[in-house]
Amino acid sequence: QLQLVESGGGLVQPGGSLRLSCAASGSTLDYYAIGWFRQAPGKEREGVLCISSKGGVTNYIDSVKGRFTISRDNVKNTVYLQMNGLNTEDTAVYYCAADRRNFGCSVASRHDYEYWGQGTQVTVSS
């Protein structure tokens, strides 16, 4: 059974940076696309960005393009989310999730993702 654990969240000032990690155990991530989702208070959970199983394909929502970067290290069984230029609208609980698929990735629907972490809080505030 694949298990995911996020870490790296915290409080940061506007314009600051954070790097989130999503560490997997129980199975290799080699066959999984990984997505990052976030949920702000009172809002629906939204897909933010994703990376394919081998890392060759990434997809981002427009609001984070140029600021967020996703990467993965399959040897360490870990996926990273580098967030730069954070603003208050990025405040949310961030979740990583795994979708077993051979090609590509998408965050259009969270229902494609079978495994989820518990989330890590990111707060952007002055």
Tell me the CA distances in angstroms from 108 to 24, 30, 64, 125, one per residue in order: 23, 21, 15, 28
Q: What string of pLDDT tens digits covers the 126 residues of the chain?
A: 999 999 999 999 999 999 999 999 999 999 999 999 999 999 999 999 999 998 889 899 999 999 999 999 989 999 999 999 999 999 999 999 999 998 999 998 899 999 999 999 999 999
What does the pLDDT read at residue 65? 95
Nearest to 9 by CA among 107, 93, 110: 93
Burial (0-12, 13-18, 19+ Cβ within 10 Å), 101: middle
